[in-house]
Structure 1
Amino acid sequence: MSIIDISEVKPGSHVTLNYRLSLADGTEIVNTFADRPATLLLGVGQLSPPLENILIGLKVGHHSTFQLEPGVAFGQRNPDLIQRISLKTLRDNAVIGESFNPGDLIEFNAPDGGRYAGVLKEVNDSSALFDFNHPLAGQAVAFEVQIIGIL
């Protein structure tokens, strides 16, 4: 019989925690402190890798706030990820229906069977302009965490 060391967060851990993610100006993006804790499996994309890396090594009961410089948590904005696609491509590949409005976050089926998403910036008679950057790319954020349990 082996003993599993769950005294600290490791890659692949299931972590129950409260967390708050906010912009540098205090605008709150997500806050589990006000509702109920989240349980996340590290390494499967439920948090961005830089945010997951912050959790590695933390112990049950740890509670602090980490300030991340612009672009650290969700990457820098990449102008190559702003792309124009034809309306036909949009209609053939989008997961939602026929109605598209600027500001919509639209999911697409990827060739490998996965999905990816972009924010519709503008649409005209023949094409649509999308921003495939993460909506928080290039932003400074505060990441407050309170570790409740580790499995």
Structure 2
Amino acid sequence: MQTAKKGDKVKVHYHGKLTDGTTFDSSEGREPLEFEVGSGQVIPGFDEGVTGLAIGEKRTVNIPADQAYGQASEDQVVEFPKEQFPADMISQLQVGMPLQMSNDQGQTFQVVIKEIKENTVLLDANHPLAGKDLTFDIELVDIAPGKSSIIMP
């Protein structure tokens, strides 16, 4: 029986939960997630959870924060002057509000307002799941062997 290994392109259905049971993501009602095992396209713990599964097989994997999105880092929290926000936006700022920011190279990334001070706003650029242990229910739907799996006659 063929099982998923590094280099294979796989399709999986998944249900991601926090340790308190709260769902943060699921493929339910969507196409299965497709990725190459071991390529870094998914978090390391998810890659490991798929490895060794056969088509139709299901597995629940518990992924510690270090094998998921890492620990939250205070280096990712920055103080941003209110005067640099558009004037009409300042009165609408709220703790927990997500914002899109861009850096000097034009790359965009999401931040969340952590705190609003008199003249500044604390913005948190950590991944929303940083510092959290995750649980995934995974079902392997399909395997397409990688190039290294092809045997030439």
State whether TM-score is above 0.5.
yes
Aligned residue in 1 for 2:32:
38
Aligned residue in 2 for 1:8:
4
Checking the alignment, whether the CA contact within 8 Å between 1:10 and 1:56 is kept in structure 2 is yes
Equivalent residue of 2:112, what SS? Answer: strand
Does 2:104 match 1:108?
no
Pairwise mapping of residues 1-151 of structure 1 onto structure 2 (< 5 A)? 8=4, 10-11=6-7, 13=9, 15-33=10-28, 35-42=29-36, 43=39, 45=41, 47-91=42-86, 98=89, 99-151=92-144
- Structure 2 portions without partners, runs of 5+: 145-153
Equivalent residue of 1:51, what SS? Answer: helix
Checking the alignment, whether the CA contact within 8 Å between 1:9 and 1:59 is kept in structure 2 is no
Checking the alignment, whether the CA contact within 8 Å between 2:95 and 2:113 is kept in structure 1 is yes
- The one-letter code matched in structure 1 to 2:33 is T
User: Residues 28 and 127 (structure 1 numbering): CA distance in 2 closer, same or farther, change over 3 Å?
Assistant: same
1:123 CA drift (Å): 2.2
Equivalent residue of 2:67, what SS? Answer: coil
What is the TM-score when the length of structure 2 is the normalising length? 0.72
Equivalent residue of 1:36, what SS? Answer: coil
CA distance in 2: counterparts of 1:113 and 1:40, whole angstroms: 28
Checking the alignment, whether the CA contact within 8 Å between 1:118 and 1:131 is kept in structure 2 is yes
- The one-letter code matched in structure 2 to 1:21 is G
Aligned residues: 138
Equivalent residue of 1:118, what SS? Answer: strand
CA distance in 2: counterparts of 1:30 and 1:58, whole angstroms: 21
- The one-letter code matched in structure 2 to 1:146 is E
User: Residues 79 and 9 (structure 1 numbering): CA distance in 2 closer, same or farther, change over 3 Å?
Assistant: same
What is the TM-score when the length of structure 1 is the normalising length? 0.73
Considering only aligned residues, what root-mean-square deviation do their CA atoms show, in Å?
2.7
1:104 CA drift (Å): 1.2
**Moved runs in structure 1, 4+ residues, more than 6 A?**
none
Deviations 1:66-101 (A, max 9, x none): 11224431101112212111124444xxxxx83432
- Structure 1 portions without partners, runs of 5+: 1-5, 92-96
